[in-house]
Amino acid sequence: MVCLLSRQYLISTGFLSVALLQTCHSAKHDQSHHHYSACNKMQSLKFMSTFVHKVSPRKDLARSLSSALSTQTLSLSSSPLVAKNRNSFPAMRLYSSSIGKGGESKVANGEKKALDIFETPLFQSAPNLLKGLDTFTVPADDDHPLSVYGIKSKDESEIEKSRRPILMLHGRTWSSVPVYHLQGGGNHSRSLMEAMYDAGLQPYAMDFRGFGGTPMDHTKTVVPNRCVEDVEAVLKFVTERHGGSLPTLLGWSQGALVAHLLGQKSYTNAIISKLILYGSIFNPMVTYPRMPLYVNGTDADNGFSRQQNTFNAAIEDFTVEGSIPPNAAVEFAESALLADPFKAEWSYLCQFNNCDPARIHVPTLVVAGDQDPYAPLMVQSELFTNLGRGNDRTWSVIADADHAAHLLDSGKERFLNIVTSFIENSKKGNGKD
């Protein structure tokens, strides 16, 4: 154990005492702690030297302290510990934490790795979840592969032009496959996509980066504005497949906030015909904190690890007793964990602070369960009331339903009827402007 040392320098005028303290540390501490203590020691000496130069009339004292600083710096630089970690010093500079265009981090000398949707957990470990679905790979504007799912839509020549297309976005945690195609292709299907197809619609769903069948990009995070740009790429893909017929955009939960951001763009009427905000977690009283302007460069060297998703997290949205049988809830949890065994990390949630209902000028449906804890009726009322004027607006509340109304025995049929009716009967029902 190195004892605590102190020195006192008396400045002639005022008898001001300045104590230089060397932090006590044990030889048992790891190297990173020694390195940190050494850096702190140098910074303390520099501060004291500057302080004495400014306030002391004793020039000899200032020179003495400067000499001590030089000697200490030399001894630290020549020590084996610092020599071994010499490259760590430049890394302790502050780097900008901003996200560039398209949500990409500004990483010096970064190289993009070719990504493949078939390397994702969904395609590697759970291809059975895709039963009954057509899968597409749509390139984003930065060529990142996006997984898109459809039903009986592989051959463009076989798509019925009378069917109105709809693109669905998942929420914060789970891929669109278990969310919108649960037990699809079987006798006990709870697939919303199959139900929509049977109702005369042409459903599509997509996965954001890092979810389900869409691989992470090099940022390893999910950024709202990046999601919006990816949705635009998929909307263009769907529109081209349907001869220019504009699709309806549906977003659920946090995905509804992504849809909201897209819906308030000035050119929204040129890319979607209608907007459905389902179980939206929009709340004008919530302000997401901004990211720090700078980060310590050494943090980037700590490695990347993902937090595992859990069974309990997968079934937490089912809260109304008797609304879904236990076997169906278990099936959803197991399917969700196969598609997304690890949590996708969202960043820059402060971009959701830009959601403003008054800027939406496209026919909009607001729909949620009356017992949805994430979309309370009071907030849903404010969302609906403040939507932009001049377009059809509909607000529907599904009784005895919570956040995942479309998966419930008590809510799925009513949810489907509400959505289908809105798409077919609103003012711009032909999907074209």
Instruction: Give domain limits for the chain.
Output: 138-294+303-424
State the pTM of this model. Answer: 0.74
Tell me, what's the pLDDT at 316?
Answer: 94
Number of DSSP helices (H) and strands (E) in the chain, helices first: 13, 12
Q: For the chain, how many residues are written?
A: 433
Tell me, what's the pLDDT at 95?
Answer: 31
Tell me, what's the pLDDT at 291?
Answer: 84
Tell me, what's the pLDDT at 351?
Answer: 97
Is-contact 117 213, C-beta < 8 A?
Answer: yes
CA–CA separation, 321 and 200 (whole Å): 32
- Phi first, then psi: what are they for 389, rounded to 5°? -80, 165
Q: Return the H-helix or E-strand segment holding 239.
A: helix 224-241
Tell me, what's the pLDDT at 160?
Answer: 84
Q: How far is CA 217 from CA 113, 127, 401, in A?
A: 9, 22, 36
Tell me, what's the pLDDT at 305?
Answer: 77
The domain defined by 138-294+303-424 carries CATH number 3.40.50.720: no
Tell me, what's the pLDDT at 426?
Answer: 56
- Phi first, then psi: what are they for 10, rounded to 5°? -95, 120
Tell me, what's the pLDDT at 293?
Answer: 84
Q: Which residues of the chain have pLDDT under 50?
A: 1-112, 301, 428-430, 432-433
DSSP 3-state of 271? coil
Beta bridge partners of 105: 99
Chain mean position to CA 328: 27
Which residues are within 8 A (CB) of 229 and not within 5 positions of it... i.e. 6 or more apart?
A: 102, 103, 140, 141
Tell me, what's the pLDDT at 302?
Answer: 55
Tell me, what's the pLDDT at 3?
Answer: 39
Tell me, what's the pLDDT at 271?
Answer: 97
Q: Return the H-helix or E-strand segment holding 201.
A: strand 201-206
Strand ranges (E), 213-332 = 248-252, 274-278, 294-296
CA–CA separation, 290 and 383 (whole Å): 23
CB-facing half-sphere around the CA of 294: CA atoms within 13 A: 8
Give residue for tokens 């711009």: 428
Strand order in 248-252's β-sheet? 134-139, 145-150, 201-206, 164-169, 248-252, 274-278, 364-369, 393-398
